[in-house]
A and B are shown apart, each in its own frame.
Chain A
Amino acid sequence: MPDRVNVLKTYKTYIDGAFPRTESGRHYKVYDREGNILANACQCSRKDVRRAVVAARGSFPGWSDRTAYNRGQILYRIAEMLETRKGQFTEELERTGYKAKRAVAEVESSIDRLIYYAGWSDKYQQVFGSINPVASSHFNFSLPEPTGVVTIWAPEEQPLLGLVSVIAPVITGGNSCVVLASETYPLSAISFAEVLNSSDVPAGVVNILTGSRTELLDPMTSHMDVNAFFYTNPDIEVQQQKQIDENGALNVKRIIRKPMEDWQDKEAKSPYFITDFQEIKTTWHPVGF
């Protein structure tokens, strides 16, 4: 008999700053790399996507209105919170079959990635904006503005670093998002939601669902109130890619596909991940007395 009966964690979803179960009441089993059952995860439905998009849209005006400095601080705060729970995340990764060293590396890289983007939050506008010397008496400038609500498929592998690497540039740029966690390894994502929830990230800015990619492809890519869809899977089937693109055509969605094999690669972070989810706005104003 064990000294103490452990309390097991129930993995739910993260929508609008709360942790509800899927409205469908369905679940699927999550296994480690040896095939042992780890936990039950929510098998989210299209209605969960719908709720999450509503939450994301609701949070967008406020989040995009935050000062760049403030967003940077919040990104930094997420990193701080993750740092304090390093052990928890390392252990969770190990349970999915990671070797200890690799688990530590993934958690540390995830923390560093958040800090990387935290630092970009008040710089990408300067680097990627412009003042345009028009040939008339006007002051003319172009600035990046967030695209809006982004739905994201988190990478299937590297369930924490991959997740952080796709969320961070999107929210650094002032967007809100709905993320579908790695289907096979969803647990880190839900734990990461707990970090977000304690990091001053306003409710609805990041919403995390778990479930089947195939099932949720349609609602995530056809939703008319979603402005962009982001996925990085290197091994997408052509038929799925076609379906995503065709759904995108419904409302001229920005479909951003960045195939990435290894999120530890030095090309796995760059400000261009931020600008992919920015719209350039050009403003004209006369110059006169």
Chain B
Amino acid sequence: MNIPDYSQSPPIDQVGVEERVARLNSRSIKKESKIKALEMALSMVDLTTLEGMDTAGKVIQLCQKAKRPHPYQPDLPTVAAVCVYPRLVSVAEKALRGTSIHVASVATAFPSGMAPLEVKLEETRQAIEDGADEVDMVISRGEFLEGNYNYVFDEIAAVKEIVGKAHLKVILETGELQTYGNIRKASDLAMHAGADFIKTSTGKVKPAATQPVTLVMLEAIRDYYYRTGHMVGMKPAGGIRKAKQAIQYLVLVNETLGGNWLHPDYFRFGASSLTNDLLLQIVKQKTGVYQSLDYFSND
């Protein structure tokens, strides 16, 4: 792997990106296409708990929800993965054994990434050993902002080496990179360094995922695909709580990368409360009656 040729990272015009998103948001998704979108979105959720007060009990409950999102709608897809801190990976792995739901672990001193490289690598190794199928690492934003792109690149590559065949999601923490130009550059860097997914945020920094940021990253994925033939996935995370937002994200994907990316292998939502809103809307679409959260389990 080589560090990317940044002349291939085009400048980004903020207003243009935001106007494009506004236009995509004007898509009106109704009827069958809405049910399809809601079900797709559900299948793409990385059900996430990343709190200092997380316990085995909390994770087990979350895994139950992952397996059976709605007790009375057994035909619904399950979520894509459960995402936890490394020390709870083994709990999740046990709870999800025998299902197709992946165990995802954050790593590399999430969320700040402010630990020595050896510590980060060791943490990653541990998560993989405990059974993580996917690792969500954070990049070193400080190094990036200082212009030490080689450092950031090497760090991602080193983590990828440990992650091996498991999937590596690289969190850019776009809220700290701030400009779309930086986000584009970091996306290119992460993909060249071996990311299987690029991900917006940890959820600990505001703003977290936004649609314009996601669009910029999707466009980077598109260019990388045309250059290499490699399909990198995308994961917006943080702040996506409503089904309507999720559908808007899917429109972004559909019209930027096309239908091949509309699959949990290539698109994920990092979210927790989104799941119930999706379920609520699915039931509403199927029954024609507006729903109450009292009828949905809030694990």
Chain A, interface size category, equals under 10
- The binding surface of chain B is classed by DSSP as helix
Of residues 260 through 279 on chain B, the ones whose CB sits less than 8 Å from some CB of chain A are none
Of residues 1 through 60 on chain B, the ones whose CB sits less than 8 Å from some CB of chain A are 13-16, 18
Chain B positions within 8 Å of A, measured between CB atoms, are 13-16, 18, 178-181
- Number of A-B residue pairs with CB-CB distance less than 8 Å in the complex they form: 19
Across the two chains, which residue of chain B brings its CB closest to A288?
B14
Cβ contacts under 8 Å, B15 to chain A = 136-138, 286-288
User: Smallest Cβ distance from B270 to chain A, in angstroms?
Assistant: 25
Of residues 123 through 165 on chain A, the ones whose CB sits less than 8 Å from some CB of chain B are 136-138
Taken together as a complex, chains A and B put the C-alpha atoms of A106 and B15 apart, in Å, by 57
Chain A positions within 8 Å of B, measured between CB atoms, are 136-138, 286-289
- The binding surface of chain A is classed by DSSP as loop
Q: A137-B15, A288-B14 are in contact. List 13 more A-B contacts (CB 8 A).
A: A136-B15, A137-B18, A138-B15, A286-B13, A286-B14, A286-B16, A287-B15, A288-B15, A288-B18, A289-B178, A289-B179, A289-B180, A289-B181
Cβ contacts under 8 Å, A136 to chain B = 15
Cβ contacts under 8 Å, B180 to chain A = 289
User: Smallest Cβ distance from A277 to chain B, in angstroms?
Assistant: 34
Cβ contacts under 8 Å, A138 to chain B = 15
Sample (7) of A-B pairs whose CB atoms are under 8 Å apart: A286-B14, A286-B15, A288-B13, A288-B14, A288-B18, A289-B178, A289-B180
Across the two chains, which residue of chain A brings its CB closest to B179?
A289
User: Smallest Cβ distance from A135 to chain B, in angstroms?
Assistant: 13
Taken together as a complex, chains A and B put the C-alpha atoms of A286 and B179 apart, in Å, by 15
Cβ contacts under 8 Å, B181 to chain A = 289
Cβ contacts under 8 Å, B18 to chain A = 137, 288
Cβ contacts under 8 Å, B178 to chain A = 289
Cβ contacts under 8 Å, A289 to chain B = 14, 178-181
Cβ contacts under 8 Å, B14 to chain A = 137, 286, 288-289
Taken together as a complex, chains A and B put the C-alpha atoms of A137 and B13 apart, in Å, by 12
Across the two chains, which residue of chain A brings its CB closest to B13?
A286
Taken together as a complex, chains A and B put the C-alpha atoms of A137 and B14 apart, in Å, by 10
User: Smallest Cβ distance from A193 to chain B, in angstroms?
Assistant: 51
Cβ contacts under 8 Å, A137 to chain B = 14-15, 18
